Amino acid sequence: MSGRINPSVLTKALIATDVAFVAATPDSRTAPLLRELIDLDGTNGAPSVLVTPDEASAVSMVAGATFLSGVRALAIMEASGLRRAYEALARLALGHGIFPPLLITVRGGVGERDWWAIGQQVTLVRCLEALGYAWEQIDTEEMADAVLAKALATADIQECGVAVLRNF
Partner 1 sequence: MSKIALSRFASWIEGKLSKDTLLITSLGDSCAAVALGHERTLALDAMGVALGLGIGVAMTSTLDVLVLETDGSILLDLSALAAYAEASRRLANFRLAIIDNESYQSAGKFPRPCHTLNWITLCKAFDLECEVLSSVEALDGMGGMSDWTAVTVFKVDEPDIAVDPLPLNGRARASRIRGQLEQAGIAYPRPATKN
Residues within the interface to partner 1 (CB under 8 A): 20-21, 23, 48, 50-54, 56-73, 87-88, 91-92, 95-98, 153, 155-159
Residue 142, Cβ density class (10 Å: 0-12 exposed, 13-18 middle, ≥19 buried) = exposed
Minimum CB separation of residue 85 from partner 1 in Å reads 10
In terms of CB distance, is 84 or 166 closer to partner 1? 84
- In the bound state with partner 1, the residue whose beta carbon lies nearer, of 6 and 158, is 158
For the bound state, the minimum distance from the C-beta of residue 93 to partner 1, rounded and expressed in Å, comes to 10
CB of 150 to partner 1, least distance (A): 13
Q: Which is nearer to partner 1, 5 or 148 (CB)?
A: 148
Nearest CB to partner 1, comparing residues 67 and 123:
67
Nearer to partner 1, 144 or 155 (CB): 155
8 A C-beta contact, residue 21 and residue 48: yes
Beta strands in the chain (DSSP E): 19-24, 48-51, 72-78, 102-106, 133-138, 161-167
Alpha helices in 41-143 (DSSP H): 55-63, 79-89, 96, 118-130
CB of 83 to partner 1, least distance (A): 15
3-state SS assignment for residue 163: strand
In this structure, is the dihedral angle defined by the CA atoms of residues 77, 127, 62 and 1, taken in order, positive or negative? positive
Smallest distance from the beta carbon of 87 to partner 1, in angstroms? Answer: 8
